[in-house]
Amino acid sequence: EARVMTSLPETRPIVIAHRGASGERPEHTLLSYDLAIDQGADFIEPDLVSTKDGVLVARHENNITDTTDVADHAEFADRKTTKTIDGRQETGWFTEDFTLAELRTLRARERLPQLRPGNTAYDGQAAIPTFAEVIALAQRRSAELGRVIGVYPETKHPGYFASIGLPLEPALLAALREAGWDSAEAPVFIQSFEVANLKALRAETSVRLIQLLAPGGSPPDGGTESYAAMITPEGLAEIATYAFGIGPEKHMILPDWNREPTSLVADAHAAGLRVHPWTFRAENMFLPQPLRGPGISPDGAMEREIARYIAIGVDGFFTDYPYRGVQGRASA
C-alpha cells in the first residue's frame, strides 16, 4: 500500500531535488520530479502557490509568465495584469487568476533557456502539476523502487495568498492528510521564509518544519527580526521552538571557498536544528576559478563542492542536479 511509508533513515545527508531535476528538465514538472527520483533524490521539492479555486500547484512563484506558454493563449490575453506582491511590483499572468481547469490548458516552459538550452526540448510537453499529483508521484515511485522518496514543499508568498482569501495552509495540510503524510514521521518537510506562516503551521500539524534563511534582509512577511538576528544562538533557539531545522543560503555556511566556514552549522546543531542549505547548481558554483563559470559545471566540481559542505556537517542539501548530489555524498 503506497500510502503507508516509514520515515527516512537519518544516517546520511539527504539529497533534495530543487524544483525536481531542474538542471535538466523544465522546473516543477512531473518530468523534472520523475527524473530526480531516477537519479536517486531522497526528496522532491515543489514550491507551492494557489489557483483561483484554492488548489495548490507547483510553481516557483504565482507569476507564470516565464515558466509557461500562457502568453501564447489568446483566450487569456485579458488576464495579464500588474500587481504588488511582497512589496514588489510585477506584471504578467498569475496563478490566482486562473482556475485549475484553466491552468491545466497551459504547458510548462524552461525558465532559463540560455543557461539550459537542452531543457527547451521539453517545452510544451508537461502540464503544471498539483501538489496532490506531486505527492502521488513520490508515493507511487517509493512503492515501485522500494525506497522512501519524500516531498519537501515550500509555501510561496503565504502572507500574500492569505490576504487575497486563498490561504495556502489549509490546502497544504488537507493534501498531506489525504495522502496519509501528515505526521512528524512522514517523509515530509514544509519550508518557508515566512516566520508567521511556519508558526501557524506548527499550531496545526506535527509535520517537520524548516525555516528558510537568506544572507541579508528580513523575512518577506515583515517579520520583526532580520535574518542576521535569526542566526545568532538566541535566534536559532527561537527557531527551534517551532521548526525542525533551517534552510540557509549556502554562502551563509561557507562565505568564501578559501576561508573557514562560519559557525552556523555548529550553532544550529547546538540548538537542536538540522541544516539543509540551498542551492547547488551550475550557475552559482562556489569553487575557485578556473573550476567555476557561468552556466558550466566541469566534471566533478559540483560534487567536490557538495562533499565540502557534507564535511562541514550539513544534514542535507538542495540541488538542481540530484545525481551530482548523490555522487558528492558518496565521495564525502
Q: Which residues bind ligand G3P (CB under 6 A)?
A: 18, 47, 60, 154, 191, 212, 247, 278-279, 318
- With CB under 5 to 8 Å by kind, the binding choice for 278 among Ca ion, ligand G3P, none is ligand G3P
Rounded CA Rg of the chain:
19
- With CB under 5 to 8 Å by kind, the binding choice for 24 among Ca ion, ligand G3P, none is none
Q: How far is the CB of 193 from ligand G3P (least distance, A)?
A: 8
> Whose Cβ is closer to ligand G3P: residue 102's or residue 247's?
247
Q: Which grid coordinates belong to 248? A: 540557509
* Amino acid letter, 225: E
**Pairing mode, if any, of strands 47-50 and 56-58?**
antiparallel
> CA-CA distance, 119 to 320, in Å (whole number)?
13
Q: How far is the CB of 318 from ligand G3P (least distance, A)?
A: 5
Name residue, grid cell 504578467: 92
> Whose Cβ is closer to ligand G3P: residue 102's or residue 244's?
244
- With CB under 5 to 8 Å by kind, the binding choice for 29 among ligand G3P, Ca ion, none is none
Q: How far is the CB of 144 from ligand G3P (least distance, A)?
A: 26
Q: SS3 for 190?
A: strand
Q: How far is the CB of 69 from Ca ion (least distance, A)?
A: 23
Closest residue to bound ligand G3P by CB? 278
On whether the CB atoms of residues 47 and 27 are closer than 8 A, the answer is: no
Q: How far is the CB of 225 from ligand G3P (least distance, A)?
A: 19
> CA-CA distance, 247 to 320, in Å (whole number)?
15
- With CB under 5 to 8 Å by kind, the binding choice for 189 among ligand G3P, Ca ion, none is none
- With CB under 5 to 8 Å by kind, the binding choice for 303 among ligand G3P, Ca ion, none is none
Q: How far is the CB of 77 from ligand G3P (least distance, A)?
A: 28
Closest residue to bound Ca ion by CB? 154
Q: SS3 for 109?
A: coil
> CA-CA distance, 204 to 170, in Å (whole number)?
9
On whether the CB atoms of residues 251 and 278 are closer than 8 A, the answer is: no
Can you give the binding site for Ca ion, defined by CB under 5 A? 47, 154
> Whose Cβ is closer to ligand G3P: residue 68's or residue 211's?
211
Q: Which grid coordinates belong to 178? A: 489525504
Measured torsion, CA atoms of residues 152, 153, 159, 161, in degrees rounded to the nearest 10: 180
